[in-house]
Chains A and B, each alone.
Chain A
């Protein structure tokens, strides 16, 4: 009886165990932060068997994104990592003219608070020159953002 209970509980708990999901940072372009096939119930249930719980050492290393940093501007690795990890949201908010991911980017780039709305507007108008092609990666996006900001006398 005890064995039966243990095995039933275990089977049931397949459904409930694992309360974290994986930190799946890979790739530096649009769509790389979206994980196809994770949405349906069936996939979620199946995903449990392949779902790895994130484990990142506290010892912080910089430039962990593995993405190519911008060439012509002096930005730190954190910025490239951030843009790579939030690329789709940044693109969306840039086209919309505001948003939290975009505001975070402005803060990281040290855009003065009173220039932020000009920064947002300039990027919105120039959306297509920032996200200039489909396979664009984080470093290039940052270079394009910087040149838009520069041309508009924001930095």
Chain B
């Protein structure tokens, strides 16, 4: 027994000796990187999926090209377009001895290094001894355990947020999610701001960068300041995968790409990070000419890695839940405190019970913050009233007041799809005559479409085109082109009094008093107010300005003020009905008054199919025209 175990130990010792001897032999052969470059070539690593992901290569006509534009991201001179040269240069760079520690490529490109190490066994190569204290410290601090994808929903009254904003959250071990970190990709616009701002944004003049911030900063930015809801999509990614994603992010730190509003945008570029976490995920291929935030969420959902979704209501949503739990008179007391008319401690004496007192004080604290944010209160005055209100509240102790729970709305990805195709027939007793119609709208949402998943009272029309035809006469017209059509009906209530607004730009084929029909360029904008009609819908008015250009106008254009009134009712989910009336008085360029009344119905067949009927009457000068349009809307 004993003898055999000694024998076994001796045997193992010999095996070990043998192995280390073999390794030494290999090492002596592999003093230079060429051996590994040859091995990588044999394995075809430059063509592998992971290499393409880590370098953001996409297929182009001439071969491959990386979407990263910063030369510092590449180690080979033509690395942007030559995956093999970049791979060779990367392997070679790991052997460099002229730079040390944090500045060494092993530290600057940790994802590339780890992947190549796995593929080529680089750790047994005679690489220089390199320590990466900065990287290690950051990784220890971020301490990734998984990843979530966050959707900051559109806020109705903020044009900057219309499509929503996606970003990633690197989850950590902490109990509080607020202590995790957020990764966001955005254009850095401080280099140039001016009249060409949007042009620059659309056509790639700005540099896009990744940012890495505590999640609590993002929550306060979106929930508290912008008043936007957040949706957290939890992803089934392991700690190891999340780590790999961070290593890749490290490589991208301070490396710019040209930011294109439509395709190489925040919604698209972050998908590369998820692919880097798990290269078998295919998220970045097969997109068309634009990527909408909500669509990148749908793509991630299709990949099957979403394990759950949670909702983080905006401050406005929470305040409204509180307001709904209070009587009108109580809210009035909160306003008096917030306006400094009555001291908090005195104001609450008249209230019936502790529940009422707590609610009134909590609301007063919110109103104080709101007034301060709106510049209606100086900072000193704010601090004084805020602390006095909270001191009264603190002295009450005990359980929280009863507040109606916030209702979770429909998830943004569950709304109708982003693009729409429409087929219809219009009966028209005017010069246009009866016509078949069809239209295409790449994005996003018409005010008459089903609201689930979208912001109530919002319309975002982007680059939509309508056509009409009389096939028997062989005619085809562009009926209308909406470059942008935004309507934001934001109801006022006891707490918030937002303005509603609209803006439309485009081309419209229209009738004139002389019976001519031709295209007019139009710009229309307006501001007004919206109020809730029970819990069934919205009523609104706009004062607007309308400018149109067409040869039928006296001086080639017409400009004047207008007034519109409307009512939209949503009695059951399947049915929506609306009526709007508009009068425009042209005073410059051409003098005339035009009236229009439209009665719209929509029946929802299912989420992505609706039937619409619009009855319209208009008066242009002395001419009256009636029309009825029946159309089928398909979302795709």
Task: Give me the interface of A with B, judged by CB distance under 8 Å.
Answer: 4-21, 23, 25, 29-31, 33-42, 44-45, 47-60, 82, 85-86, 88-89, 91-92, 94-98, 100-101, 103-104, 107-108, 121, 124-128, 131, 134-135
Contacts and interface: CB of A to CB of B under 8 A. Distances in A.
Interface of B: 134, 137-138, 141-142, 157-165, 174-176, 178-179, 184, 186-190, 193, 196-199, 201-202, 209-214, 216-217, 220-221, 224-226, 249-250, 253-254, 261, 265-266, 293, 358, 361-362, 365, 369-370, 372-375, 379-380, 382-384, 386-387, 390-391, 393-395, 397-398, 400, 462-463, 483-484, 486, 498-499, 501, 503, 505-506, 521, 527
Nearest to B162: A16
Given A15-B484, A36-B373, A40-B374, A53 B165 contact: no
Contacts of B214: 82, 85
A23 B184 CA distance: 12
Contact of A103 (B176, B261, B266, B395): B176
Given A16-B261, A58-B210, A95-B390, 14 more contacts: A10-B198, A15-B503, A16-B162, A54-B186, A57-B254, A82-B216, A86-B216, A91-B387, A92-B390, A96-B393, A98-B400, A107-B179, A127-B390, A134-B384
A7 B221 CA distance: 32
A29 B387 CA distance: 12
Contacts of B387: 30, 91, 128, 131, 134
A108 B216 CA distance: 13
Nearest to B139: A60
A23 B217 contact: yes
Contacts of A40: 374, 499
Nearest to B484: A12
18 contacts: A16-B163, A17-B198, A19-B160, A19-B165, A19-B186, A25-B217, A34-B225, A36-B374, A53-B190, A58-B210, A58-B212, A85-B217, A96-B393, A96-B400, A101-B178, A107-B176, A121-B397, A131-B387
A150 B505 CA distance: 64
Question: Which has the most chain A C-beta neighbours within 10 Å: B383, B394, B463?
Answer: B394
Given A53-B189, A55-B211, A17 B160 contact: yes
A35 B374 CA distance: 8
Contacts of B506: 8
A8 to B, nearest CB: 5
A12 B383 contact: no
Given A49-B193, A100-B178, A11 B505 contact: yes
A100 B176 contact: yes
A134 B368 CA distance: 14
The 10 closest A-B pairs by CB, nearest first: A127-B394, A12-B484, A95-B390, A104-B176, A13-B198, A15-B159, A134-B383, A17-B201, A95-B394, A95-B393
B383 A16 contact: no
Given A10-B198, A60-B212, A52 B501 contact: no
